[in-house]
Homo-oligomer: A and B are copies of this chain.
Amino acid sequence: MSTITLLRKPEDARRKLAEAYASIATELAEADRIYAAELASRATYVARLVEHCSQLQGKRLRPALVLLTAQACGGIRPEHPVLAAVVEMVHTATLVHDDILDEAFVRRHAATVNAEWGNESAVLIGDYLFTHAFHLAASLDTTLACRLIGRATNLVCEGEMQQVANRGELDLDEASYYAIVRGKTAELTAVCCRLGAHYAGASPEVVDAMDGFGRDLGVAFQIADDVLDLWGEERTTGKTMGTDLEKQKLTLPIIHLLSVLPRAEAARLRVDLAHPDADVRRTLRPLLESSGALQYAWDQAQHFADSARAALDLLPETRASAALRQLAQYVVRRAY
């Protein structure tokens, strides 16, 4: 049984990420340029909101997945930085709208759009990011990217809605948890890798394998995110913590904890979870650790990260494929 070894220092995590991204620095910068050009607006208010959203840019995991997969599968072509910008826009749109849902006030060490500009503006700038993402995707030669991104975002929204539907459902099981995670997170990371591989001219077999890589990496990433929401420090993660508990969203560590506790204790915990007070996160932490629930979730994240890495065995050993391996490990070894 492994121990939980988060990269406690954000600077370590950032260094790891910088290493993985070293081979795509030029193309990431090009994606940033395309991103900014697509969203530019002469309307002052819109421009300020766009500026605020670009400050929310974090790890740029999704653009990096597009570019690294491309590099690992035959090489980056002109479509790839465009696609990288598209997936970052889609991701930022979902973040901005998620923060409305979560009533979160801090994201990536900055005020969320809803906290600073109100829900109205957060709804609209999210829509603006969505529509520009599709507009930009439609600048490519064929409808393929629009179709794939359309399908993935359909499933992202469906996953998010299932999560809302299950709020307060204190008997949520693992299967339902995974169904939500596969939709809301893994569909987008999967399509990033599919697009990266496809537009690099990879064979259908490799394209499917890369889709699987992105999907497993997405699940690993989300489990780690859910663990951090219970376990991380706001100072380090740079976002509001404990929102899952507040919103009565059951995540893997809690689901497992409820399944291993004696029946009476589990019943008491469900009562606490149904009426979460400000202290619930703090009081839960020792129990999550002593019961092994946290370790269980962490092991599951590691399992998906391992499975993601296995999908890369189809690829030749290159610097890019090594970076993808590193990324799969990074998503479960980060503290932000």
Cross-chain contact A128 with B43 (CB below 8 angstroms)? no
Cross-chain contact B128 with A150 (CB below 8 angstroms)? no
| A interface SS class | helix
Interface membership of A203, Cβ < 8 A: no
Nearest residue (CB) in B for A136 is B150
Known A-B contacts A100-B123, A138-B143; A130 and B130 likewise in contact (beta carbons under 8 Å): yes
Segment from A29-37, A74-82, A157-165, A284-292 that makes contact with B: A157-165
Q: Which of A127, A132, A137 has the most CB of B within 10 A?
A: A127
Interface membership of A9, Cβ < 8 A: no
Cross-chain contact B150 with A124 (CB below 8 angstroms)? no
Interface membership of A153, Cβ < 8 A: yes
Cross-chain contact B49 with A124 (CB below 8 angstroms)? no
Which chain B residues lie closer than 8 Å to A192 at the CB level?
none
Which chain B residues lie closer than 8 Å to A315 at the CB level?
none
Name A141-165 residues within 8 Å CB distance of B: 141-143, 146-147, 149-151, 153-154, 156-158, 160-162, 164-165
User: Number of contacting residues on A, CB 8 A?
Assistant: 48
Contact with B along A105-132 (1 / 0, CB 8 A): 0000000000000011101111110111
Measured between alpha carbons, how far is A149 from B134 in the docked complex, in Å?
9
Specify which of B123, B149, B165 is in contact with A43 (CB 8 Å cutoff): B165
12 extra interface residue pairs, beta carbon distance < 8 Å, beyond A45-B165, A101-B120? A43-B162, A45-B162, A124-B160, A125-B157, A127-B130, A128-B161, A135-B150, A135-B151, A138-B150, A139-B147, A140-B143, A146-B146
Work out how many copies of this chain go into the complex. 2
Cross-chain contact A164 with B128 (CB below 8 angstroms)? no
Q: Which 6 A-B pairs have the closest CB atoms?
A: A135-B150, A45-B165, A138-B146, A131-B153, A128-B157, A138-B147
Name A38-93 residues within 8 Å CB distance of B: 41, 43-46, 49, 93
Cross-chain contact A161 with B131 (CB below 8 angstroms)? no
Measured between alpha carbons, how far is A229 from B119 in the docked complex, in Å?
23
Cross-chain contact B141 with A97 (CB below 8 angstroms)? no
Nearest residue (CB) in B for A139 is B147
State how many angstroms separate the Cβ of A203 from the closest Cβ of chain B.
24
State how many angstroms separate the Cβ of A317 from the closest Cβ of chain B.
36
**17 A-B interface contacts by CB (under 8 A):** A43-B158, A43-B165, A100-B120, A101-B123, A123-B126, A124-B160, A127-B130, A128-B154, A128-B157, A128-B161, A131-B154, A134-B146, A134-B153, A136-B150, A137-B150, A138-B146, A142-B143
Q: Which of A139, A158, A162 has the most CB of B within 10 A?
A: A158
